[in-house]
Structure formats: structure tokens, C-alpha cells
Structure 1
Amino acid sequence: MTGYAIAIATVLVAVVGPLTLGIAGLLRRPRAAPPHRPAPPWDWTLTLRSAVLYTLAFNLTFFLQELFLVLPKAFTPGLQPTLFHNNHAWEGTHPLASLFQGTGVAATLLCALACRWLLARYPAAPANIRLFLLWMVYCGLLMALPQFTIGALSEGSDVGMAMTYLGWPPPLRLAAGLLALAAVPAVGLGLLRPLLALADRPERIASAGARTRFTFLVATLPALAGSVACIAFRVPREWIEVVLVPAWVAILGTAWMQAGAWRVEDVRARGTAAGSIGIPLAAAALLLLVFQGVLRSGVAFY
């Protein structure tokens, strides 16, 4: 029962919903729009900056998750945790170990909510900062929410172990998994306004078609490219973890963003025509060095 319900809900959220919304946009009768100047040629620097910032946000979020899976265990008698660049492990036993498998998700959720508050609180911040905050919200929520769905199916998963410790019965686990899936469209659609506000000219988001194009070039394409770049941060590990997890996070939310971009109107363009890519690139390179040069062999927290 649980497996069938989760499977159906996943197909609805990941495939049917975005397709339906996108087709509705194609079939709608366009409104009469005020005349506007054609947008200037696209600046691919913004696409590249977004891809680098997505890569940085994804791996920082994953690091935060694993760090907060390790820290509670480090202060628990009898547990000896080790942090890796793509996982964590521990030796020893303690009844709280299962509960602490849920602290990583809690940390990513709280971080995402904090970044969402900052994004709303400072709408005129520099474009790179807003784009980074947007991707931190995106990665934090879309890395965390599916884990509740997986936890409803598998008692051996991180969140599944925490659910078991808390004594959640199957109906409650199923409800949590379904609610997590139902929140995915809200995440994707809710980030469209701050995304479109990154446009440097009103013409870039003046029509439904322009907004769809802008979303593809600033969100969908960079997220897909960034998920490929994430491979370098995650090897060596099973390819399902190295490739599938980043791809799933990238596709799940941007599908809704891409499908719903046509609906979002009255957004004020607050972006800038140019921005530095040097700092995001340097930050991503430094993080890769830490991942592969320090964390790959493991850092003991005992």
C-alpha cells in the first residue's frame, strides 16, 4: 500500500504535474501586453555564474547535512563518528544513534529556511548573493524533502531510522512522505519571483515566453550543468549516489520552475548586466580541494 501510494504520488509530482502546467501555458490565450523593446543578446556569464553557484550550494548543503549527522554522535558516549566528503560512518552503539540520523535533514531544512528569509529580507542585495541564497534554499529543501518520502519506504534510510526511533506508525510515515512530495511544487514555484527578479532588464521577463527563456537560462540549464560538476565532488562512491542524487535534486524542482515561469507576472527586474564569476569559481575550487584533499580520507570526530 505504502509503496504504491508513494510511487503514484512521485509520478504525479515529478512528471504529470509539471507537464500539465507547462502544457497549460502553451495552450493559454496570451494576454495583450504593452509594447516593449526586444531584449539584448543574452549574457552567458549569468548562466555560468548560476551553474557555479548551484554547484557550490549543492555541495555546501550536502556537507552541512553530513556534518550535522556527525556532530550529535561525536558528543554521544560510545559512538565514534567519521566525516567523509560524500558520506559519514560511525563505530559503536547507542540507542540515540538512530534518532541522530535525522539531524542532517533538520539542519538542511533550517538552513534553507534561513536563506529564504534572507532572500526576502534583502531583495536588492548583489545578484551573486541573491542567486547563491536562492540555490541554497533550493538545494536545502529539495535535498531534505525526498528523504521523508524515502523514509516512509525504507526503515534503513537516514530519516527512516529516525522515524523508527520516534515510533512513527506506517500511516504517519506515509503521510509525512506524501506531504513532503506535495511540498515540492511549492518550493519550485515559490522561487520563481526571486529568480525572475535577477533579470537586468525588464524586457527579459516582459512576456510569458521571455520568462520561460530566462528561467531556462538562469535556473534549469545551470542546475543540470551544476549536477554534472557535482560528480567531481562526490567520487569515489557508488554511481547511484554520485550521479543520480544530484540529477534528481536538479530536475525535481527546476521542472516546476520551468513549467510555471509563464504564470509569474509583475516582477521587477533588479539584476545587473555583469557580475564577477571569480569569487564563485574560487569558492567552488576551494570546496573541491577540501572535499577531495581533506575529507575524502575521513576526519574523525572522536
Structure 2
Amino acid sequence: MLGSAIAAMAGGVLVVGPALLALAGALRSRGAARSAAALPWNWRLSLNSALLYTLAFNLTFFIQELFLVLPKALTPGLRPTLFHNNHAWQGEHPLAALFQGGGAVATAIVACFCAWRLRHARGGTHLRLFLIWMAYCGWLMALPQVAIGALSAGSDLGMAMGYLQWSPATRLVAAALALAAIPVAALSLLGPLLALADAPERIAGPGARTRFVFLCATLPALLGTLLTLPFRVPREWIEVALLPAWVALFGLVWIQAGAWRVADAQARGDAVPPASTLRLALAVAALLAVFQLLLRPGVAFY
């Protein structure tokens, strides 16, 4: 009963809702002016967005695992170790199960902070785009875990829910609220995303906004998901790919489907310096080196 209800809600949130929103946008865009199509696209922005997404995803994952480890490191009898794609611990303590909820809480808090900071950001395109991706990854890494935890007692949040002795009804309500929050969180980032446009013509109509979001966010996030895989190997491929896939897809379907609706966005983007791509690529390479050379062997917190 619980599994069927959550599966139905997930299908509505992740498939039916975005499909209906995209259909409404397609109908609205018929016959609209296509002035943005005449503007040459700056592919450097797409590549930089992909690199920033890669940084944001892996930093968010590191924050999640770090805050799964730190509470255990401060608990007598527990000896945790942080890895590049997981964490583990030795010893036993009743609070260990509760602490499994710390990672999702931490990423959600970081996401909320980045979203708040984004509202007050006065920096250029790259800073705002990085804050967008940090907020996105934080929310989309945390919220689906609530629904998963309601179904699986062995998952991180499932263990925390078990410690708190949540009833099936409580788990169902938590899953429903988390799933409902996914489109709210994703769509809240559309305004800041569209504001990255460097010319009003790029976001002047429903079709133009849909195109801009695809080239600035959707396509880069998919590419960034592929770039994330080397950070997570070696491990079973389902573990390597599953988390990056759900983080990218669960929110992107709403962002892409709803791009046409934000008619009041104002273009406030700036030029993308040619050297910025190299700097971002070096930052991604440096973070990959930290993951594979330092974290992969394991960092003991005891």
C-alpha cells in the first residue's frame, strides 16, 4: 500500500506533471516569434555551465558524506571513514541510525543558503550559475531521499526514520511533501537561470526561453552528469550512475518544461571570458584529483 501510493505520486510528479506543463508550453509557443534563433549561441557558456554543474554536484555530494561522517566521529564507539563515493563506520551506537539523516539535512541547508545568496548576488554570470547549481544539487540530492527512505528501511533516511519510529502514515506524508517540493524547488531557479541571458532577445518569447534553458542548463547538466562519473568509480555501475542520474533528471524535467512560463525575466548576463573555461576545467581536474587520490583510499575520522 505504502509503496504503491509513493510510486503513484512519484509518477505524477516526475512524469505526468512535467509532460502536461511542456505540452502547454508547446501549444503556447506555436506561431510565436523566433527572434532568438537568429542569434548565434555562445557554446562557451554551455561548456562552462557543464563544468560548474560538475563542481556543484561533487561538492554537494562531499558535503552530504562529510555530514554523515562528522556526527559519528564525535560519538563514542563509532569509527567512521570517508571515501570518494561513500562512507563506512566500525562500531555500534544507537544514534548511528539517526545520524544517517545528517547528509540530506546538510545538503538541503546548503541549497537553501545558496538560493538565498543567489537573490542577493551581485557577481557575474559564473557566480550566479554556480549558486544555481549548488542550490539545485542540494535540493535534488536531498528531496528524493525522503521518498526512498519511506520505502527502504536500509537507505540513509530510512534508517533515520526507523530510529524515530515513524509510522507508515508519517512516512507517506513525508514522501508526499518531499515529492511536491521537487517542482517547487526546480521551478524557483528558472528566473535566475533566464536572467543569465546576455540579450533580451534570447528570452523574448516562450520558444526562446525554452531554447535558452536547454542550452544553458539542461544540456550542460546532462554533460556534467557524465563528467561526474569518473569521480565515483570504482564501484558498481548502478551506484556510480544512479544518484547523478536522478539528481539531473528529476529537476531538469520541470526546469525544461516550465521555461516558457517565466515572461518577466530580465536579461542580466555578461560576457563569458575565453580563459574562464580553462580555469573551470582545471578546477574540475583538481577536485577529481582530491576525490581519487585522497578520498578514494579513505580518510579515517578517528
Band the TM-score falls in, shorter-chain normalisation: over 0.9
Whole-Å separation in 1 of the counterparts to 2:36 and 2:279: 33
1:6 matched residue in structure 2 = 6
SS in 2 for 1:95: coil
Task: Indicate the residue corresponding to 2:268 in structure 1.
Answer: 270
Q: Note the aligned Cα RMSD (angstroms).
A: 1.6
Amino acid at match of 1:95: P
CA distance, structure 1, for counterparts of residue 88 and residue 42 of structure 2 = 44
**CA deviations over 1:60-98 (Å, ceiling 9, x no partner):** 000000000000000100000000000000000001101
SS of equivalent to 1:277: helix
Distance 1:15 1:38, change over 3 A: closer
Give the Cα separation in 2 of the matches to 1:32 and 1:287. Answer: 44
Q: What is the Cα deviation at residue 273 of structure 1?
A: 2.6
Letter in 1 for 2:129: L
Q: Distance in 1 between matches of 2:182 and 2:75?
A: 34
Match of 2:256 in 1: 258
Q: Does 1:65 align with 2:76?
A: no
**SS of the residue 1:167 aligns to:** coil
The 1:29–1:132 alpha-carbon spacing in structure 2 relative to 1, beyond 3 Å, is closer
User: Please, which moves more after superposition, 166-175 or 77-86?
Assistant: 166-175
- Equivalence map 1:48-127=2 (5 Å): 48-122=47-121, 124-127=122-125
Distance 2:117 2:189 in 1: 13
- The 5 Å alignment of 1:149-160 reads 149-160=147-158
- Deviation at residue 31 of structure 1 after TM alignment: 9.2
Please name the residue that 2:300 is paired with: 300
Q: Which residue of 2 aligns with 1:178?
A: 176
% identical equivalent positions: 64
Q: 2 CA distance for matches of 1:211 and 1:240?
A: 34
The equivalent of 2:21 in structure 1 is: 21
Specify the code of the residue in structure 1 equivalent to 2:61.
F
How many angstroms apart in 2 are the aligned matches of 1:219 and 1:108? 20
1:40 is displaced (CA, Å) by 2.4
Show the 5 A alignment for 1:280-299: 280-299=280-299
Superposed displacement of residue 266, structure 1? 1.6
Q: Which residue of 1 aligns with 2:205?
A: 207
CA contact (8 A) 1:39 1:204 kept: no
Are the aligned partners of 1:9 and 1:178 in contact in 2 as well (CA < 8 Å)?
yes
Moved over 2 A (4+): 28-33, 35-40
Aligned pair in 2 of structure 1 residues 74, 204: CA closer, same or farther (>3 Å)?
same
Paired letter, 2:65: E
Report SS of the residue matched to 1:98: helix
Q: 2:28·2:206 contact (CA, 8 Å) conserved in 1?
A: no
**Residue 37 (structure 1) shift:** 7.8
Amino acid at match of 2:19: L
SS at match of 2:165: coil
> Secondary structure of 1:266's partner?
coil
Number of aligned positions between the proteins: 300
**1:11-68 CA distance string (max 9 Å, x none):** 11111111100001112376988x9787520010000000000011000000000000
Distance 1:55 1:84 in 2: 18
Contact 1:39/1:201, CA 8 A, preserved across alignment: no
CA distance in 2, matches of 1:244, 1:163: 22
Q: Measure the CA separation in 1 of the matches of 2:80 and 2:29.
A: 58
**Normalization by structure 2: what TM-score?**
0.96
Q: Is the 8 A contact 1:101 1:161 kept in 2?
A: yes
Q: Deviations over 1:179-226 (max 9, x none)?
A: 111111111111100000000111110111110000000111011111
Where in structure 2 are the equivalents of 1:230-269 lying within 5 Å? 230-269=228-267
Q: Equivalent residue for 1:46?
A: 45
Report if the CA contact (8 A) 2:37-2:208 is conserved. Answer: no
- Residue in 2 that maps onto 1:148: 146
CA distance in 2 between counterparts of 1:170 and 1:158 reads 17
Letter of the aligned partner of 1:222 in structure 2?
P
- Structure 1 residue 279, shift from structure 2 partner: 2.7
